[in-house]
Amino acid sequence: MEQTDVKNKIDELTDELSTYAYQYYVLDNPAVTDYEYDQKLRELAELEEQYPQFARQDSPTKRIGGAVLSAFETVVHEVPMESLQDAFSENEVIDFGMRLKTVLGGEVSYNVEPKVDGLSVSLAYENGRLVCGSTRGNGIVGENVTENIKTIHSVPLVLKEALPYLEVRGEVFIPRTAFVRLNEQRALKGESLFANPRNAAAGSLRQLDPKIAAARQLDIRVFNVQRIEGHAFQTHSESLDFLRTLGFKVIDNYVCDSIEAAYAHVQQIGERRADFAFDIDGAVIKLDTLDKRTILGSTAKAPRWALAYKFPAEQKTTRIRDISVQVGRTGVLTPAAELEPVFVAGSTVSRATLHNLDNIRQKDIRIGDMAVIQKAGDIIPEVVRILPEKRDGSEREFAMPHSCPECGSEVVREEGEAAYRCTGLDCPAQLLRNIIHFASRGAMNIEGLGPAIISQLLQRGLINSAADIYYLDAQEVAMMEKMGVKSAENLLAAIGNSKQNDLGRLIYALGIRHIGEKAGKILAREFGSLDALMAAAPIELICIEEIGTTMAASISQFFTEPHNLASVQRLREAGVNFYAQNALVTDRRFAGKTFVLTGTLPTYKRDDAKAIIEGFGGKVAGSVSKKTDYVLAGEEAGSKLTKARELGVTVIEEDEFHKMIQ
């Protein structure tokens, strides 16, 4: 293909995909199937990889996230991103309208908008192209999160009109459905859950790795023109209509000719809270005429021409029929109130989280109590309080079980923690998460054995523990969805290869609480075999540097649980290596030395180089400081290399590193 043809094709695909994305993400009216879009996107990505000189800045491929950022730069807002004064009653709203009417000398019109509960951002465009996306910060200074903003499909990278300059304000959020999926995925990985969509959106937008932000399915609603060159408006509603023509996803807005009509519309929005795809915590009333806003001005904190009416959380009263216990994928036992069904905030609720036993005791919640229920963040049902005056004496106190309701293993509560945990390695409630961890890169590193395959294996009854993966039958695996003979052979070969892993990986893979990847290596080096570790007394464990009392107790507890011992025996019989390769290594040439790895090394994988350094007694850090001894730099080394040179830290390349380890 000629160079000119390549450029034309890239331009054609970029324009076509941008149009499809606008129709899908902004207009909610897809013109092609997901498959067709993905095929064209793949074609564009392949062309851009071969001919990077023709890739455009507004390419849809930029939406998937670029290089990891070292830190966020600060951005000074030329137009302050002010907060709003709050109102909680009809009287406050009417008083607001009366003040405006008195100052301006007559009736005025208002613009009413739902108030998205997300993270406020500013988007700046020069000559129609996005040049900066920043957080509100303190209203005067925010953070430059442009690369993360670019991952939001509803944010136009190029406007439909090349205005000299435009700055708009909007609210970034995670849609409710995406929030539920995100928490489900985090639970699957054993990660802490986000409390509400707002926290999730804020955390996502401030990730240093844009790929993480891209995976969170962020969205935006734009609600204000901060500054513009090349156009003028008389009213706020007119400016929002103009933003829609430029390609923005704009907040729904309604013009009202009196403050009474505005308040009535606020109440209508409140009644429809459950209908929105995103969380709202109120509605905003704004003076619609822009030149009159100038007359009113602002206080030190907020404009005098706008008001945020905050909705109270909808609460209902119902009876707690029972308190059940659910075992999460991390082994935590979570009590839940089984309720007489009640309709709250748009849906029928029959169960509410009680978090933990401490929360139950603090609120004095008993089985049979009448309780006030609401949805935290309008999503997660919770018990706000109980009504002791409704008690008749039949109510019963709740106690946590001593054994796991799923597998019968002992339930423990560690000192200083609120959570009760199941100690069973093969507890059905924890099983999926445990096997995913067992096969993960830092543990047994079994290529091809991801969450989807593990879920299928469990559903088909082919495995009931992590140890069972070493007994899989190739024919049965080949019959699974999206597998086949060759894929099954490759998977079983990868599983077989993992038997030779060093003991440190196996110790980490077992999922012993508090024992991470680094601790697994330390224990392997100190004890030399899994049998020696299993036989170690707590005092022996505590004497090891970096192994504290909590970790020692967790190890001892793990190897006294019958379910865990049975799984270890299955691993032994399968031929999994129980010995440390570096247990007898006495060469500590890197003892006391700290390395930082950056860039791509020609020969070594980063994990391999790290293992070599640690095998010789050295440490590998994630950032460069004055305490760093060496920076091992490969191709495309970034900010770490720059900082090393600034601090005078010794920089070595792979050839020199190779000489050091001979």
Active-site annotation, residues? 115
**Residues 572/578, Cβ–Cβ less than 8 Å:** yes
**Residues 320/364, Cβ–Cβ less than 8 Å:** no
Within a 10 A sphere around the Cβ of 415, how many other Cβ atoms?
A: 7
The Cα 233–Cα 293 span in angstroms is 13
Beta strands in 257-379 (DSSP E): 280-287, 306-310, 315-327, 332-344, 347-353, 370-376
Residue count (the chain): 662
DSSP string spanning 224-277? EEEEEES---SBHHHHHHHHHHHT--BPP-EEESSHHHHHHHHHHHHHTGGGSS
The Cα 484–Cα 181 span in angstroms is 29
**Beta sheet of 254-256, edge-to-edge order:** 86-87, 306-310, 280-287, 110-116, 254-256
Could you say which DSSP state residue 626 is in?
T
Helices (H), 510-592: 517-527, 530-535, 538-542, 549-558, 562-574
Three-class SS state of 214: helix
Rg (CA), the chain: 30
DSSP string spanning 569-583? HHHHHHT---B-TTT
B/e letters for 520-559, b = 16+ CB within 10 Å, e = fewer, are bbbbbbbbbebebbbebeeeebeebeebeeebbbbbebbb
Identity of residue 249: K
| 458-192-357 Cα angle (round to 5) | 95
Identity of residue 464: N
